[in-house]
Structure 1
């Protein structure tokens, strides 16, 4: 819609208020509710937002190590702009009108800390090369019979999942919460986040959803909205949904795998497929894969952004630990699916459900394009069998501090995303590590309190 069309739409539907939101560096949606007059007034020049939204962490604690904003700048306003193409209604909130926004400066340049703007730039680069980027993210998450206040009162101990036992792909378990289960599928579809599938995963109270594939920006929008939507729908049933990568040491972690392929501009040909190749992979596909493998150590925090992310990336836990790829191999970092020309794609398996979809997809697409631009040869052979044992090409960093320092010092990361973004993002990750390092954990108390 243009401004004239959206004005007519609001008048026709008698819409008096609009909700909008944008994703911060952690992928947390920040936004507000505004009246229709303010909405229309801001369509040209944007809406002022205190830029502390780029200067604090997921708990609203202000960073002490970022240059883009801080006490030194006085936390002024920056202007976000609503993307009219993201119009949707929220069916579980009386069809409240909703838009997504991002931060684009008056001269058209992006704010370096804005994840959606970063992905828009990389997607535009991809399209300028003649490719249509088709992406999808899938999520696993655990559901609990808990409330926010209850969790605080019990100090996040003895959490109760909505079901017990290891019931992957169970038909029985969802039927015991059929209202919640079918509301997820149906309401997400009405919200413009349609699912290809929804099922239980192995573990107590854990679900997995595959979101329908789309253009990379629309796909990231859907993924970001999915996480908040699931939490809001769950709350209607007294359920809390958690997208932590690994909430319990004895249970599987939660993935956020990203599927991707490049097509011609009119989406009639999957450019990753080659009928004449042994593995049905085109040269373009091989360059793209080589780029992802090559760039992986340089962009890892964009796939694994929290301290907790690395608790999932351990051997034998259905998450990769090595720089590997394979044909339909779920033990490698990158899995190639090549069963048909239409479905040929690459699945990046490093991301967990705690990812910021805009940053994870930016990392995947930019790395793949790097391989295409530099015509990188796929010199790493496919892993057959156990990818955890194939350490020939290196292993992933095992904690957030190391991964963030590696990215901060990387020439490749700066080439892909720009120095301003790399410095800001990695400093936020190092802040996250420092907050964790100061804590005294239950493990330490149990291990040392009496015996040492």
Structure 2
């Protein structure tokens, strides 16, 4: 496979959020503390894809010149199956390479892998032009659009996952049936945990802190085997970058403990894993969501932002509910919203207003834990921009049970979401035709796969009755 020319040098500075620089890496490599560097690109599904490099080779060749990977990394389904229909690359183009430019500000040691550091990369063409359909670039675009209003967002992510006993290989061998959650009772807010759960949570907390990503809190949830992790508020792009590393840590540490973590939105009937985005808007270090002098009253900016979310998010579901299973989470009484409503401290709403004063912020509750965080946050910011640009008026808050409200319903299926996305003038304006077409193709692949598979549920319902 032919290589394109190397990417342009990374941005100057080269010091990560926790103050880890290339000089620090050189010193650790010289001391024998680090021998491997992972260069990773976030793929369409929000996973880390890339290559393991000898640390010395990374320092000599890759850090300043970039590397190459096959472009299909950004044009394939969750199975990594080559598929036609993507403009970026295909059989017709010979599945050419793209260049990966290390984002050296993301460089860090990852304690859950021995003697290993990791750096995320930006996907670019051979001339250094960003690839518009790459998840990090999509978020960069929305941050730029929001800056037209003199605003920048801060974001915090809280996400849920379920721990099953046994490894992924055990689950596959069992046909993914009769999975056993790590815990067998509702442990929501519990502080008395079994030794396996306690040990896993402690190891995860230590590993993330060692990588410069300390958690805000870890708690067990109502679902059997369910855990929720909350991260501190901060830079929006950093929050998404770190979330991918967090999921990598969860899976790695889980496997070593003989556990199979899952971030599926609905891993079992009646169970749901959510990812809640906490977002606020700032200008010159001053929060813009609350009315000056008021702890709880929304500013004009805050009102327009929420109105934009309620208007725009229904058309962008592919970015926060990306696969068939995602839509099985949206059920009444599940704490996942079913309509687009807003309210103060109301967990039945899609947009929950929480906090006070400068801490007032929006909790967007529609994304599931299966989401690509760059896409989900991009959808949120695009919808906020939509509300600000058009000065949309905000309707009354929902003060009761939003499951009984008359708000715009969350799309019931991926097929409905795809239709709305493809027909959305707002989506095309916010993201561009290239991005809309690319992710519509990805949704088609998911639907085609689902329509061909005969499930256990179908056999159970129809085997003896058809």
Confirm or deny a common fold (TM above 0.5): yes
Other-structure match for 2:381: 365
The gaps in structure 2 that reach 5 residues or longer are 1-11
**CA-CA distance at 1:175 after TM superposition:** 4.8
**Partners of 1:45 and 1:106 in 2: CA distance:** 11
Other-structure match for 1:37: 57
* Match of residue 19, structure 1, among 34, 38, 60: 38
1:62 aligns with 2:77: no
SS in 2 for 1:330: coil
* Match of residue 217, structure 2, among 183, 193, 197: 197
**Partners of 1:415 and 1:174 in 2: CA distance:** 51
* Match of residue 242, structure 2, among 218, 222, 226: 222
1:98 aligns with 2:121: no
**CA-CA distance at 1:112 after TM superposition:** 2.3
Root mean square deviation, CA, Å: 1.9
**Partners of 1:274 and 1:164 in 2: CA distance:** 46
1:352 aligns with 2:368: yes
**Partners of 1:177 and 1:358 in 2: CA distance:** 29
Which has the larger displacement, 427-436 or 90-99?
90-99
Matches within 5 A, 1:286-325: 286-325=303-342
Number of residue pairs aligned between Structure 1 and Structure 2? 446
**Partners of 1:98 and 1:152 in 2: CA distance:** 29
Other-structure match for 1:428: 442
**CA-CA distance at 1:353 after TM superposition:** 0.4
SS in 1 for 2:378: helix
* Match of residue 391, structure 2, among 352, 372, 375: 375
**Partners of 1:421 and 1:263 in 2: CA distance:** 27
Any idea what the Cα deviations from partners look like across 1:278-336, whole Å, max 9, x if unmatched? 94211111111111111012111111111111000111111111111111111111111
1:327 aligns with 2:344: yes
SS in 1 for 2:83: coil
Give the TM-score, by structure 1 length: 0.94
Distance 1:357 1:154, change over 3 A: same
1:245 aligns with 2:265: yes
**CA-CA distance at 1:130 after TM superposition:** 2.1
**Partners of 1:223 and 1:6 in 2: CA distance:** 21
Any idea what the Cα deviations from partners look like across 1:178-233, whole Å, max 9, x if unmatched? 22111111211111222111000002111001111111100111112111111111
The gaps in structure 1 that reach 5 residues or longer are none
Any idea what the Cα deviations from partners look like across 1:330-351, whole Å, max 9, x if unmatched? 11111111x4213200011000
C-alpha contact 1:50 1:77 (8 A) present in aligned 2:
yes
Any idea what the Cα deviations from partners look like across 1:223-264, whole Å, max 9, x if unmatched? 1211111111112211111000011113x3010010000112
**CA-CA distance at 1:105 after TM superposition:** 3.4
Matches within 5 A, 1:41-440: 41-105=61-125, 109-173=129-193, 175-250=195-270, 252-265=271-284, 267=285, 269-275=286-292, 279-337=296-354, 339-378=355-394, 380-391=395-406, 393-440=407-454
Distance 1:173 1:3, change over 3 A: closer
C-alpha contact 1:7 1:40 (8 A) present in aligned 2:
no
**Partners of 1:82 and 1:128 in 2: CA distance:** 27
Give the 4+ runs in structure 1 shifted more than 4 A. 3-7, 275-279
**Partners of 1:327 and 1:64 in 2: CA distance:** 46
**CA-CA distance at 1:108 after TM superposition:** 5.2
**CA-CA distance at 1:172 after TM superposition:** 1.6
C-alpha contact 1:404 1:426 (8 A) present in aligned 2:
yes
SS in 2 for 1:193: coil
Which has the larger displacement, 62-71 or 342-351?
62-71
C-alpha contact 1:297 1:396 (8 A) present in aligned 2:
yes
Distance 1:410 1:41, change over 3 A: same
SS in 1 for 2:416: helix
C-alpha contact 1:400 1:430 (8 A) present in aligned 2:
no
